[in-house]
Amino acid sequence: MPRHPAEPWRIKMVEPLRTITRDQRQQALQEAGYNITLLRSEDVYIDLYTDSGTNAMSDRQWAAMMSGDEAYAGARSFYRLEAAVREHYGYEHLIPTHQGRGAENILSRILIRPGHHVPGNMYFTTTRAHQELNGATFHDVIIDEAHDPSCDHPFKGDVDLVKLDRLIRDVGPDRIPYVSVAATVNMAGGQPISLANLTQVHELAHHHGILVILDAARAVENAWFIKQREKGWHEHSVAAILREICARTDGAAMSAKKDSYANIGGWLALRDPYLAEQAQGLVVLYEGLHTYGGMAGRDMEAIAVGIAESVQDENIRARIDQVAYLGQQLIGAELPLVQPLGGHAVCIDAAATLPHIPREEFPAQTLAAALYLDSGVRAAERGAVSAGRDPATGENRYPRLELIRLTIPRRVYTRSHMDLVADSAIHVHKQRDRLTSGLAFTHEPETLRFFQARFAPTTPNSALNHPA
Ligand code: PLI
């Protein structure tokens, strides 16, 4: 066997990349209000902002797009997607949506009422925003280890059953419409939940008549980790493990822009026909008819093929290997990373990198800006800026994890790109003492502020304002 098994695909089409000078990046960063989200993508060299919708599709997916049925009602492409979801995820009723947050909207509207409480294994930005918009309070019931970047627990996505049980007793099962279970947990750095733990969550929730809803965006990646790390599952295929994960849940919200190698799309799936009918009624209002839900027929074709590709062991192995390849280089240079390495991203602990910058000056936002300035690599902030303010108190939420996320799009970048990212991240790390101050808001939007916020350095002599 070669030291690193090669990717099970070759490249048929390429997209040229543009490089700009450091002075140009400096200007672009200032124009973007020091928010990497507001950079124009053409000013970015290697874009690790997200793995969402940034995938390279296969020739099979492109070919399938040509056979998209664009009928308003009853499109053949819908039935192909429905069949793929039934086969690989095992849910009976499929409600297509334009992307994951469309599914979160419909789900939250049918299940949540004001005064409800939703427990989950750490929050995700859009998921929690929809839960709160519908009047629920979110409760993080993930195990404590998930909040400790250096802890190498193999299943940091596990739910703490004591926390979940306590919440059920405190507020009463009638006020908990569902447990929101993510696999993997994005904000913890792509950490998996174990099948053993999910089984216990399912039993506890069902004992109290509470549903379990899966965030399936990266459930295939989670299945791979179960195969690698959980006793008794090594001989099972990823496809079989994925079905086992879903079998322990009552439905799922899916962003097809992740595991399924698509550029757009999503779905909500439910087992209960009564709930499914309610969702089908609402999807017409917010997304489109219940047989396209905001997607073109060709998008549904691409997702159907993408689902089948995503569960092939060699594809998911190559994906996780690439993340590990980048991560190992950074570990070798002693950068403080979230351990163990996650499924979709390598996350750098910005609070540990820049301990001299107070949390109020957003070390992760600052580190992401510095990395862009150095090499044109765009990471994502996953810390206090993403966490927003507590709706009850209006205070900033300061999660223990203050991270920058180097998120790897699927089948897009090569090892040389990863080498370049590693070199730049290591260089910025070595020079971290030059970053003596952070950033402050000059504009702070109310909802999901991290997308549109603008910042300025807190001191005029900030390293973010100076040439290398
Ligand atoms: O971006 P959407 O609307 O297709 O999906 C929303 C969404 C739901 N759950 C999880 C775990 C996500 O990661 C997610 C989107 N994630 C983005 C955009 C990301 O950059 O991680």
For residues 299 and 262, the answer to whether their CB atoms sit within 8 Å is yes
Q: Looking at residue 2, what is its pLDDT?
A: 61
Counting Cβ atoms within 10 Å, is residue 16 exposed (0-12), middle (13-18) or buried (19+)? exposed
For 285, residues 6+ apart whose C-beta sits below 8 A from its C-beta are: none
Per-residue pLDDT, 391 = 84
| CA distances from residue 272 to 99, 104, 199, 254, 315 in whole angstroms, order as listed | 22, 17, 19, 17, 32
Distance 385 CA to ligand 1 centre (A): 16
| Residue 215 in contact with ligand 1 by CB distance below 6 A | yes
Is residue 425 a contact partner of residue 406, using CB atoms and an 8 Å limit? yes
Q: How far apart are CA 416 and CA 229, in angstroms?
A: 29
Q: pLDDT tens digit string along 410-464?
A: 999 999 999 999 999 999 999 999 999 999 999 999 888 988 999 999 998 888 8
**pLDDT attached to residue 297:** 98
**Residue 79 and residue 204: Cα distance in Å, rounded?**
34
Q: Determine the straight-line distance between the first and last CA of the chain, rounded to whole angstroms.
A: 43
Single out the residue of 456, 467, 365, 346 nearest to residue 408, CA to CA. Answer: 346
Residue 280 to residue 385: CA distance in whole angstroms: 35
pLDDT cut 90: percent of the chain above it: 95
Q: Which CATH class is domain 59-310?
A: alpha beta
Report the separation in Å between the CA atom of 345 and the middle of ligand 1, taken as the mean of its atom positions: 13
The residue ranges of every structural domain in the chain are 22-51+313-465, 59-310
Atom of ligand 1 nearest to the CA of 49: 20
Q: What is the strand order of the sheet 345-349 is part of? A: 345-349, 403-407, 380-382
How far is 442 from 452, CA to CA, in rounded Å?
Answer: 11
Pocket test for ligand 1, best of 257, 299, 346, 378 (most atoms within 8 A of CB): 257
- For the stretch 279-331, pLDDT in tens is 999 999 999 999 999 999 999 999 999 999 999 999 999 999 999 999 999 99
Contact criterion met (CB below 8 Å) for 378 and 126: no
| Residue 25 or 4, more confident | 25
Residue nearest to atom 21 of ligand 1 (CA): 50
CATH class of 22-51+313-465: alpha beta
* Residue pair 117/139 in contact by the 8 Å Cβ criterion: yes
Q: What is the DSSP letter of 288?
A: S
pLDDT band at 71 (very low <50, low <70, confident <90, very high): very high
Backbone angles phi, psi at 181, to 5 degrees: -110, 120
Ligand 1 atom 10: residue of nearest CA: 217
- The β-bridge partners of 95 are 268
State the Cα–Cα distance between residues 283 and 270, nearest whole angstrom: 14
Question: Tokens 């216990």 map to which residue?
Answer: 200
The mean pLDDT value for 362-385 works out to 97
* Residue 126 CB–ligand 1 contact under 6 Å: yes
* Ligand 1 pocket residue status of 202, Cβ below 6 Å: no
Q: Is 217 in the pocket of ligand 1 (CB under 6 A)?
A: yes
pLDDT at 38: 97
Q: Please tell me if the CB atom of residue 50 comes closer than 6 angstroms to any atom of ligand 1.
A: yes
Q: For ligand 1, say whether the CB of 382 is within 6 Å of any of its atoms.
A: no
Considering only CA atoms, give the Rg of the chain. Answer: 22
Kind plus residue range of the DSSP H or E element containing 268: strand 266-270
Tell me the residue length of the chain: 468
Residues forming the active site: 72, 124-125, 215, 258, 382, 450
Band (467; pLDDT cuts 50, 70, 90): low
Name, in order, each residue with C-beta under 8 angstroms of 367's C-beta and a sequence gap of 6 or more: 348, 350, 353, 354, 379, 404, 428, 432, 435
- Got the DSSP string for 244-280? HHHHTSSEEEEETTSTT--SS-EEEEES-HHHHHHHH
Mean residue pLDDT of the chain comes to: 96
Which amino acid is it at 391? Answer: P
- Angle, CA of 320, 219 and 112, to the nearest 5°: 145
Ligand 1 and 100: CB distance under 6 A: yes
Closest C-alpha to ligand 1, atom 17 = 52
What is the structure's pLDDT at 4? 75
Find, among 352, 330, 354, the residue nearest to 341 by Cα: 330
For ligand 1, mutation pick of 52, 180, 299 (most atoms within 8 Å of CB): 52
| Ligand 1 nearest atom to the CA of residue 218, by list position | 11
25: left (phi over 0), alpha (psi -120 to 50) or beta: alpha
Q: Is the CB of 339 under 6 A from ligand 1?
A: no
For the residues 56-85, what does the mean pLDDT come to?
A: 98
- The HSE-up count of residue 29 (CA atoms within 13 Å, CB side) is 30
* Residue 119 main-chain phi, psi, to 5 deg: -85, 150
Name the residue with the closest Cα to ligand 1, atom 4: 100
Kindly tell me if the per-residue pLDDT of 345 is higher than 90: yes
Which pLDDT tens digit goes with each residue over 89-132? Answer: 999 999 999 999 999 999 999 999 999 999 999 999 999 999 99
pLDDT in tens, 153-196: 999 999 999 999 999 999 999 999 999 999 999 999 999 999 99
Is pLDDT of 1 > 70?
no
Write out pLDDT tens, residues 225-251. Answer: 999 999 999 999 999 999 999 999 999
